[in-house]
């Protein structure tokens, strides 16, 4: 399950997509809209995406994880459109036979999303707005334990 959606994310379905008899662990990451960012009060966020490419990039991330952990199952759903405070913007679930692999793969997934998936957010504050999301390399490979893809 790799999807870009306009409606609220069904987190239970994302988790269920990774369940299986060999899953000793399912690790989830639920990214939500927070009210305060760097001392600014957020009113709401607007997410936009190059949807077809974003879908392919989410699938690519799943493939990268599968190459590192052959028994891992990954599901990623990202929401676009207007999101209010506390709404779920992204849900990631990764299952693996062992928890360390599931934790590492899940962390890798969110870092890769921020690095390479064409999704942008416009933060609306009580005193202005700004587009965020340049995908210019925010992943920390040292923290994920994964090699740099393609020797980057």
Q: Is the pLDDT of residue 121 over 90?
A: yes
Contacts for 27 with CB less than 8 Å, ≥ 6 apart? 93, 94, 95, 99, 102, 103, 105, 106
Each residue of 32-75: pLDDT tens digit?
A: 999 998 888 999 999 999 999 999 999 999 999 999 999 999 99
Distances (CA, A) of 52 to 5, 48, 77, 84, 103: 12, 12, 13, 24, 28
Would you call 140 helix, strand, or coil by DSSP? coil
Mean pLDDT, rounded, for 82-94? 98
Each residue of 7-17: pLDDT tens digit?
A: 999 999 999 99
What pTM value is reported for the model?
Answer: 0.86
CATH of the domain at 109: 3.90.1170.40
Do residues 57 and 119 make contact, with C-beta atoms less than 8 angstroms apart? no
User: Is position 148 within any domain?
Assistant: no
- The number of folded domains in the chain is 1
Each residue of 122-140: pLDDT tens digit?
A: 999 988 898 886 554 444 4
User: Is position 144 within any domain?
Assistant: no
Each residue of 96-107: pLDDT tens digit?
A: 999 999 999 999
Question: Domain range for residue 92?
Answer: 2-132
User: Is position 145 within any domain?
Assistant: no
User: Is position 151 within any domain?
Assistant: no
Would you call 18 helix, strand, or coil by DSSP? coil
* Euclidean distance between CA atoms 15 and 48, whole angstroms: 24
Which has the closest alpha carbon to 33: 107, 106, 133, 122?
122
């Amino acid at each position: 399950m790799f999807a870009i959606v306009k409606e609220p994310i069904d987190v239970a379905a994302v988790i269920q997509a990774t369940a299986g008899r060999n899953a000793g662990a399912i690790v989830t990451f639920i990214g939500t809209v927070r009210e305060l960012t760097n001392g600014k009060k957020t009113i709401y966020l607007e997410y936009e995406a190059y949807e077809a490419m974003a879908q392919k990039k989410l699938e690519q991330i799943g493939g990268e994880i599968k190459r590192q952990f052959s028994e891992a199952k990954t599901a990623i759903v990202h929401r676009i459109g207007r999101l209010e405070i506390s709404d779920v913007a992204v849900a990631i679930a990764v299952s693996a036979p062992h928890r360390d692999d599931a934790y590492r793969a899940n962390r890798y997934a969110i870092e890769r999303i921020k690095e390479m998936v064409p999704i942008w957010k416009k933060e609306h504050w009580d005193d202005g707005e700004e587009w965020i999301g340049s995908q210019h390399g925010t992943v920390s490979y040292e923290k994920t334990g994964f090699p740099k893809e393609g020797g980057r």
